[in-house]
Amino acid sequence: MRGLRTGFFCLTTTLASLASAQSRSDPYELVDQFARVLNRIEQEYVEPAPTEKLVQGAIEGMVSALDPHSAYMPPDDYDDFKADASGQFAGIGVEVDLRHGQVTVIAPIGGSPAERAGIRSGDRIVSVNGVVPDMLPLTEIVHRMRGKKGTTVHLTVRRAGRSSSLEFYVVRDDVHMPSVYVRRFDHDIAYVRIAAFQDGTHHELLEKLGRLQAEASFKGLLLDLRQNPGGLVSEVVAVADEFLGSGLLFFTRQREMVIDRIDTTNNGFFENVPMVVLVDEGTASAAEILAGALKDRRRCPLVGTRTFGKGTVQTIMDLPGGAGLRLTAMRYYTPAGNGIQASGVLPTETVSDSEPDQAEFTRESDLPNHLPSEQSVSLRKASRTKLDELPSAQPCETPKPLVTLLERIRQLPASPTDKDSKILARAYQLLLSHL
């Protein structure tokens, strides 16, 4: 679909230029202009061009011109999007990343077909069903390993210490990608890493922390939101309710009106447990809602670096033919009225795992066409509308593509004071001082 968007860029640019040059008072005259250009392409382009392909490219270009998070999703892309949000899909269950230009296995997901087949961390994938992945985008490689349950994927891999390649025939099955990882550190400290807020994250958190608590009680908690790209708002609300007492979690605004405010209750299991939160430049979207609320309400300190800065909410709409529309509909604000968009959340204590001269971070403010940041606003002074006046589609955060999610959920070193994680070491030290 990227090719369609690129291929149609000249057409959308031409339309915009024509509108500017002629200063038309009626913007819908551009629809007639579009029809004329489309007709010329159909009649005179060097090769026959399918009309469906052209119109779809025009829709994609129109929506993508709004901001980096609005998108038209053709049926296949929409199916992938919904699978990413649910955390469940049919595939082989392997986490991959590009290392030195080679597709490398980070780890097979526990209990997945890839794990059962014997694929290991560090294996380099040199072909997928006979196709060499070197010239393919990583998203396409991941897509090729997905498919219908019961079908087979043929992988050729190279493994360190082996002179010859290994061949694997892996049968696709339902795969569930965990979103919560828990460990126990010394001094009765629980470590919780939330990789993303996907369908079931809240239940998974309670289940895994409950199991850890049943083994032996913990006195403090480290909540790691680093490299968490966000996810479902409903899940982050449920998770936040476990760590906060009653009060404002966040509120949303659309066209200068307060649309809704979301509050936490007083029923959390861990709202009185001393805790420290870890954040970094990869903490984004729904994860920033939680981090911002914990900071504003002085629940606990935040340690790390300024977060990504995605402070917008997307509405997901079904379209005819199985396509979908992801449209930026609102901005959200922390309890103190701070806008996160393009600004991010500042930690209580800044600590970085990267040297200053080596830090190459991409944040929302670096993305082309991003919406600008705003000054703080007051919830009381802004007008408000009723929820039943909104469109029927419900707001949903934008999970990043699965491949970027998968590279985030690596296990951290066994020691909480490992030299490779200054953020973790400082957070651990700070929590101990509060116990």
CATH code for the domain in which residue 110 is found: 2.30.42.10
- Kindly state whether residues 113 and 193 are assigned to the same domain: no
- Kindly state whether residues 165 and 196 are assigned to the same domain: no
The lowest-confidence range among 71-75, 198-202, 309-313, 364-368 is 364-368
Tell me the whole-structure pTM to 2 decimals: 0.72
Backbone φ and ψ for 259, nearest 5 degrees, come out as -90, -40
158 within some domain:
yes
- Kindly state whether residues 292 and 328 are assigned to the same domain: yes
- Kindly state whether residues 18 and 148 are assigned to the same domain: no
- Give the model's pLDDT for residue 297: 96
Distance between CA atoms of residues 124 and 96, nearest Å: 9
pLDDT in tens, 358-367: 555 678 888 8
- Find the domain containing 151 and state its range: 88-176
Is 60 exceeded by the pLDDT of residue 94? yes
Mean pLDDT, the chain, rounded, equals 81
Residues in Cβ contact with 35 at an 8 Å cutoff, skipping those fewer than 6 apart: none
Q: Which of these three, 176, 199, 215, is where a domain ends?
A: 176
Distance between CA atoms of residues 228 and 286, nearest Å: 9
Q: Which of these three, 176, 211, 230, is where a domain ends?
A: 176
Q: Which of 141, 200, 149 is nearest to 171 (CA)?
A: 149
Q: Which of 95, 114, 121, 127 is nearest to 173 (CA)?
A: 114
Is 70 exceeded by the pLDDT of residue 13? no
Quickly state the pLDDT bin for 351 (edges 50, 70, 90).
Answer: very high
Quickly state the pLDDT bin for 378 (edges 50, 70, 90).
Answer: low
Is 70 exceeded by the pLDDT of residue 101? yes
Residues in Cβ contact with 394 at an 8 Å cutoff, skipping those fewer than 6 apart: 315, 316
- Give the model's pLDDT for residue 327: 93
Catalytic residues, by residue number, are: 285, 296, 310
185 within some domain:
yes
Give the tokens for residue 15. 């339309």
- Give the model's pLDDT for residue 358: 52
- Kindly state whether residues 202 and 289 are assigned to the same domain: yes
77 within some domain:
no
- Give the model's pLDDT for residue 376: 65
Q: Which of these three, 176, 200, 231, is where a domain ends?
A: 176
Q: Which of 316, 318, 284 is nearest to 394 (CA)?
A: 316
74 within some domain:
no
The lowest-confidence range among 137-146, 162-171, 271-280, 343-352 is 137-146
- Kindly state whether residues 145 and 214 are assigned to the same domain: no
Domains: count for the chain: 3
CB contact at 8 A, 213 and 207: no
What is the mean pLDDT of the segment spanning 5-18? 43
Burial classification of residue 367, based on how many CB atoms lie within 10 Å of its CB (0-12 exposed, 13-18 middle, 19 or more buried)? middle
Q: Which of 211, 204, 216 is nearest to 242 (CA)?
A: 204
- Kindly state whether residues 54 and 163 are assigned to the same domain: no
pLDDT in tens, 62-80: 998 999 889 899 888 888 7
CB contact at 8 A, 126 and 157: yes
Higher per-residue pLDDT: 358 or 372: 372
Is 90 exceeded by the pLDDT of residue 237? yes
Is 60 exceeded by the pLDDT of residue 20? no
Q: What is the CATH number of the domain that holds 279?
A: 3.90.226.10
Higher per-residue pLDDT: 35 or 110: 35
200 within some domain:
yes
Helix (H, G, I), strand (E, B) or coil at 273: coil
80 within some domain:
no
Element (H, E) at 325: strand 324-333
Helix (H, G, I), strand (E, B) or coil at 41: helix
138 within some domain:
yes
- Kindly state whether residues 151 and 291 are assigned to the same domain: no
- Kindly state whether residues 338 and 231 are assigned to the same domain: yes
Q: Which of 123, 113, 119 is nearest to 152 (CA)?
A: 113
Is 70 exceeded by the pLDDT of residue 11? no
Backbone φ and ψ for 10, nearest 5 degrees, come out as -60, -35
Beta bridge partners of 189: 185, 220
- Kindly state whether residues 199 and 170 are assigned to the same domain: no
132 within some domain:
yes
- Kindly state whether residues 185 and 166 are assigned to the same domain: no
- Kindly state whether residues 186 and 165 are assigned to the same domain: no
